[in-house]
Amino acid sequence: MEAKIGGFKMKKLILLIIFQVLLLISAALAEPVYDVIDLGKIPGTDYSEAYSISGKGQIVGMCSLPSILGRATLFDPTGAGNNTDLGTHGRDLCYASSINDSGQIVGRANNAAGHSRATLFDSSGGGSNIDLGTLGGIYSQANSINNSGKIAGLAYNTSNQPRATLFSSTGDGNNINLGTLGGDYSSAYSINDSGQIVGYAQNASSVWRATLFDSTGGGKNLNLGTLPSGGHSEALSINNSGQIVGYAQNASGDYRATLFDTAGSGNNNDLGTLGGNDSYAVSINDLGQIVGYAQNASGDYRATLFDISGIGDNIDLNTLIDPGLGWTLRDAYGINDNDWIVGYGYNPTGRHRAFLLRPRNTAPVAIAGPNQVVYVCSDDELTDVNLDGSGSYDDNNDCLDYYWSWTVDGNICEANGVSPTIQLPAGEYEIELVVDDGIDFSEPNYCTITVIKPLHAKLQVMPRFLNTQSRRRTITAIVYMPQGITPEDIDANEPLVFIHDSNEIESTRQFVSKWNMHGRPRTWVLASFDKDDCIDILSLGLNRIKVTGRLSSGRCYYGNSCIYVFKPRPFRRPWKFPK
């Protein structure tokens, strides 16, 4: 047992409390919290139910006709009806009960002999389904698959008694009998990512009790008990924190949604109803949100979001949708950590349909970042500009896609990503950002990028004719600044740069001065460059060069000139006639 709540768990607990309070307020004000998506059916069927939703929002269940027992189905979560029939083992009866974050799907399907078999379905609908076998009997079903691909359910042994089972996912039949609590029957309903398995098992008195199974099959199963003076109980779901929910009988014989004491000490929590007698907690996510169904005061079952504290602030999910939609939500069977809820209900035409409840979306907000002023050091140079859309946000915590656009010389340019690097010539640009949360686009937001041209100055280089064998150590550059630039405008600490064919050398020293030229003050910058370094980047003959510097404001200045580099011929003595 933990001595304290860790930071991450505390944040999750705070978020859960805030969410529960918001739901209660919304229910009281009759403000819709969820959008309802009719998941439809597959051709040839009439009704559908959704049993499981993955962390990535993939949904499975079944579609059926009143006269036959259905087809395993992978539902299109958008409600567009592109649902996938997952096939069978030869007969019509099959359903998909669980899907993990990798898209692996398990359930049951009848074989040609009419016997139900635990099945790992081909998620493409191609029909390459795997019969996971039994424990020697003729019947099995897979109820849950975790993110490691471990599968739990039930299978008949050679005495045709159902036993909780940990299946081999390969279908090789090496399945593990998880035993009972001393009775004949058991079944596993849920397995978490740690491999903990829950369900029910008969005790020696033939009473069904919620059970935490020994996943090794060693028989050290834990009886989770029931409610005070109650009878049967079953554990239907376990999350990755080890919290377990299901139902248990109370002293009156009513079945009540229950949060079980994981230590098996019997301190189980009756989660109450919606005013009726019975209720069932079917699924708990990693945030501790619990869904299922409960009777209201009229005795009708309604999809329910349970108050984990047990004080009874349960919410009929029908109060959290727009009543004008005409839906009646009957049962909720699954909830993921994004608060997406699946189950079944009756749509506006009265059809029995699988539904997805998705928190009503709030459009995201785009923040294009601050305005920027950047400088280029050449008239025709493109400069890199780093955009920053990291301030954009979505109240539903959905992942965002980023779309940037701007215009250069009448041409529309685009970029994607939260912080792309783009190239701009000199000028002023309005950059637009729109973000998309997968449901809605934001309103556009803008920032202004101003790219400032450099100042053109006059450059004098000494010497203009450079002897590679010269003993001089430096090349001197004098940059005569345009009228109006004062010595104070120059960043005297910034080295000047000698450039030839993209090769650069920084000055070894520089200073700024001013003199009067024809009665007008003129600022000039003198810089020295290492001669040998310059020769390394120059070639023999005429070389066009550029020297750049920077003003205190950040703006660049530059001047162009030429240097002729030559290598003197070797000295030869005059020829003389021999004596």
pLDDT tens digits, residue range 326-348?
999 999 999 999 999 999 999 99
- The whole domain housing 327 covers 7-83+154-359
Q: Which structure tokens are listed for 305?
A: 């979001």
pLDDT at position 9? 45
Residue 57 in any domain: the answer is yes
Number of domains in the chain: 3
Q: Edge-to-edge, what's the strand order for the sheet holding 208-213?
A: 182-191, 197-203, 208-213, 222-223
pLDDT tens digits, residue range 534-546?
999 999 999 999 9
Q: Are residues 195 and 316 in the same domain?
A: yes
Q: Are residues 323 and 416 in the same domain?
A: no
- Spans of the chain below 70 pLDDT: 1-30, 66-69, 517, 571-579
pLDDT at position 517? 67
pLDDT at position 12? 47
Q: Are residues 491 and 548 in the same domain?
A: yes
Q: Are residues 199 and 322 in the same domain?
A: yes
Residue 310 in any domain: the answer is yes
Q: Are residues 469 and 343 in the same domain?
A: no
Residue 106 in any domain: the answer is no
State yes or no: cis peptide before 463, omega within 30 of 0: yes
Q: Are residues 306 and 425 in the same domain?
A: no
Beta strands 520-530 and 509-517, pairing class: antiparallel
How many Å is the maximal CA-CA distance in the chain?
Answer: 142
Sign of CA dihedral 135, 141, 145, 148: positive
**DSSP class per residue in 362-406:** ---B------EEEE-SSTT--EEEE---TT-B-TT----EEEEEE
pLDDT at position 296? 97
Domain at 54, CATH number: 2.120.10
Matching residue, tokens 């869904």:
291
Q: Are residues 491 and 465 in the same domain?
A: yes
* CB of 256 closer than 8 Å to CB of 270: yes
Q: Are residues 328 and 414 in the same domain?
A: no
Q: Are residues 306 and 448 in the same domain?
A: no
pLDDT at position 575? 62
- Side-chain half-sphere CA neighbours of 483 within 13 A: 5
pLDDT tens digits, residue range 240-275?
999 999 999 999 999 999 999 999 999 999 999 999
